[in-house]
Chains A and B, each alone.
Chain A
Amino acid sequence: MTTEVPSSSTERYLEVQQSEEFGRLRHAVRSFVFPMTVAFFLWYALYVLLSAYARGFMSTKLIGNINVALVFGLLQFVTTFLIAWYYSKYAATKIDPIADKIRADLNSTSGSAASEGPGDN
Chain B
Amino acid sequence: MHTHLLAAEASTSTSRGLTITLFLVFVAITLAITIWASRQTKTATDFYAGGRQFSGFQNGMAIGGDYMSAASFLGIAGLIALYGYDGFLDSIGFLVAWLVALLLVAEYLRNSGRYTMADVLAFRMRQRPVRTAASVSTIVVSIFYLIAQMVGAGALVSLLLGIKPGATFLGMDAGRAKVATIILVGALMIVYVVVGGMKGTTYVQIVKAFMLMTGALLMTILVLAHYKFNLSTLLGDAAEQSGKGTKFLEPGLRYGVESASASATFYSKMDLLSLGIALVLGTAGLPHILTRFYTVPTSKIARKSVLWAIGIIGTFYLFTLALGFGAAALVGSKAITAQDKAGNTAAPQLAQALGIDYLGGDTGGSILLAIIAAVAFATILAVVAGLTLASSSSLAHDFYASVVKRGNASERDEVKVARFSALGIGAVAIALSIFAQSLNVAFLVALAFAVAASANLPAILYSLFWKQFNTSGALWSIYGGLAASVILVFFSPVVSGSATAMFPSHDWHWFPLSNPGIISIPLGFLAGFIGTKLSKEDDTAKYTELEVRSLTGHGAH
Q: Which of B30-56 contact A (CB under 8 A)?
A: 43, 45, 51-52
The answer to whether A33 touches B104, judged by C-beta atoms less than 8 angstroms apart, is yes
Could you show 24 A-B contacts with beta carbons less than 8 Å apart?
A: A1-B402, A13-B544, A14-B544, A37-B100, A44-B92, A44-B276, A51-B256, A52-B255, A55-B251, A58-B250, A59-B250, A64-B235, A73-B92, A80-B95, A84-B307, A88-B303, A91-B303, A96-B300, A102-B548, A102-B554, A103-B553, A106-B554, A120-B43, A121-B52
A55-B251, A76-B96, A88-B303 known; A13 vs B102 contact (CB < 8 Å): no
* Neighbouring A residues of B233 by C-beta, 8 Å: 64-65
Minimum CB–CB distance for B147 against chain A, Å = 28
**B104 and A48 form a contact (CB under 8 A):** no
Known: A59-B246, A77-B318, A102-B552. A84 touches B276 (CB 8 A): no
Complex CA gap A26/B95 in Å reads: 27
Within 8 A of B (CB), among A50-70: 51-53, 55, 58-59, 61, 63-67, 69-70
Interface of B is mostly: helix
Assuming the A-B contacts A81-B314, A87-B102, are A65 and B551 also in contact, with contact meaning beta carbons closer than 8 angstroms in the complex? no
Besides the known contacts A13-B544, A117-B557, 7 further A-B residue pairs in the complex with CB atoms under 8 A apart: A1-B114, A3-B557, A22-B552, A51-B89, A83-B99, A84-B98, A120-B114
Interface of A, secondary structure class, is helix
Cβ of B280 within 8 Å of any chain A Cβ, yes or no, is: yes
Is B541 interfacial (CB 8 A cutoff)? yes
Chain A residues near B231 (CB-CB < 8 A): 66
> What residues on A are CB-neighbors of B277 within 8 Å?
45, 48
A49 to B93 CA separation, bound complex (whole angstroms): 13
Q: How far is the CB of A16 from chain B (nearest CB, A)?
A: 5
Please classify how large the interface on chain A is, using the bins under 10, 10 to 19, 20 to 34, 35 or more: 35 or more
Check: A10 CB closer than 8 A to any chain B CB. Answer: yes
Please indicate the chain A residues that have their CB under 8 angstroms from the CB of B155 in the complex: none
CA–CA, A80 and B252, complex, Å: 24
Complex alpha-carbon distance, A41 and B249, angstroms? 24
Cβ contacts under 8 Å, A115 to chain B: 555
Q: Rank and list the top 8 A-B pairs by shortest CB-CB distance, nearest first.
A: A64-B232, A48-B276, A65-B235, A51-B251, A59-B250, A33-B103, A52-B256, A65-B236
B269 lies within 8 A of A52 (CB): yes
Bound: A111/B131 CA distance, A = 31
- Measuring CB to CB, which residues of chain A are less than 8 angstroms from any residue of chain B? 1-3, 5, 9-10, 13-14, 16-17, 22, 25-26, 29, 32-33, 36-37, 40-41, 44-45, 47-49, 51-53, 55, 58-59, 61, 63-67, 69-70, 73, 76-77, 80-81, 83-85, 87-88, 91, 96, 99, 102-103, 106-107, 115-117, 119-121
How far, in angstroms, from A49 to B246 measured CA to CA in the complex? 20
Total count of chain B residues near the partner, CB < 8 A: 68
The answer to whether B45 and A41 touch across the interface, beta carbons within 8 angstroms, is: no
- Considering only CB atoms, which chain B residue lies closest to A11 in the complex? B541
Contact check, A70 vs B85: say whether CB atoms are below 8 A apart: yes
Contacts of B553 in A (CB 8 A): 99, 103
Contact (Cβ within 8 A) A1 B407: yes
- Whether the Cβ atoms of A47 and B250 lie closer than 8 Å is no
Seen from chain B, the residues whose Cβ lies within 8 Å of a Cβ on chain A are 43, 45, 51-52, 85, 88-89, 92-93, 95-96, 98-100, 102-104, 112, 114, 119, 123, 127, 231-233, 235-236, 239, 246, 249-252, 255-256, 258, 269, 272-273, 276-277, 280, 297, 300, 303-304, 306-307, 310-311, 314, 317-318, 401-402, 407, 541, 544-545, 547-549, 551-555, 557
Residues of A within 8 A of B119 (CB): 1-2
Cα A77 to Cα B93 in complex, Å, equals 10
Contacting residues, chain B, for A5 (C-beta < 8 A): 545, 555
Known: A17-B544, A53-B269, A70-B85. A77 touches B95 (CB 8 A): yes
**In the complex the two chains form, is A70's CB within 8 Å of B554's CB?**
no
Q: Point out the residue from B89, B269, B303, B547 that lies within 8 Å of A73, measured CB to CB.
A: B89
Q: Does B307 lie within 8 Å of A80, measured CB to CB? A: no
Residues of A close to B100: CB separation below 8 A: 37
Q: In the complex, how many angstroms separate the beta carbon of A120 from the nearest chain B beta carbon?
A: 5
Given A84-B102, A99-B552, A120-B557, answer yes or no on A52-B232 (Cβ-Cβ < 8 Å).
no
A52 x B555 contact (CB < 8 A): no
A3 to B255 Cα, complex, angstroms = 48
Question: How far apart are the CA atoms of A2 and B275 in the complex, in Å?
Answer: 36
Give CA–CA (A102, B402) in the complex, Å: 31
CB nearest neighbor in A for B251: A51
A65 touches B303 (CB 8 A): no
Pick the residue among B45, B255, B269, B551 that contacts A121 (CB under 8 A): B45
- When distances are taken between beta carbons in the complex, the residues of chain B under 8 Å from A9 are 545
Contact (A116, B99) CB under 8 Å given A1-B127, A96-B300: no
Residue contact B232 to A66, C-beta cutoff 8 Å: yes
A67 in complex: contacting residue of B96, B250, B304, CB < 8 Å: B250
Q: Chain B residues near A106 (CB, 8 Å)?
A: 548, 552, 554
Residues of chain A lying within 8 A (CB to CB) of residue B297: 121
Q: Whose C-beta in chain B lies nearest to the C-beta of A79?
A: B96
Asked whether A66 lies within 8 Å of B235 as measured between CB atoms, the reply is yes
Cβ-closest chain A residue relative to B250: A59
Q: Which residues of chain B come closer than 8 Å to A3, judged between CB atoms?
A: 555, 557
Contact for A77 among B89, B92, B112, B304, CB less than 8 A: B92
Q: Give the complex CA separation of A40 and B276 in angstroms.
A: 13
Interface centre among A32, A87, A107 (most CB of B within 10 A): A87
Partner of A103, one of B93, B102, B552: B552
A27 to B373, CA, bound (A): 50
Which residues does chain B contribute within 8 Å of A96, judged by CB atoms? 300
Closest to B256 in A: A52
Q: Beyond A52-B256, A53-B269, A80-B99, is A29–B551 a contact (Cβ under 8 Å)?
A: yes
For the complex, what is the distance from the CA of A85 to the CA of B98, rounded to whole Å?
Answer: 13
Q: Which residues of A lie under 8 Å from residue B317 when comparing CB positions?
A: 77
Which of A2, A26, A40, A48 contacts B99 (CB under 8 A)?
A: A40
Chain B residues with Cβ below 8 Å from A73 are 85, 88-89, 92
Query: Known: A37-B100, A81-B310. Is A69-B249 also a contact (CB below 8 A)?
Result: yes
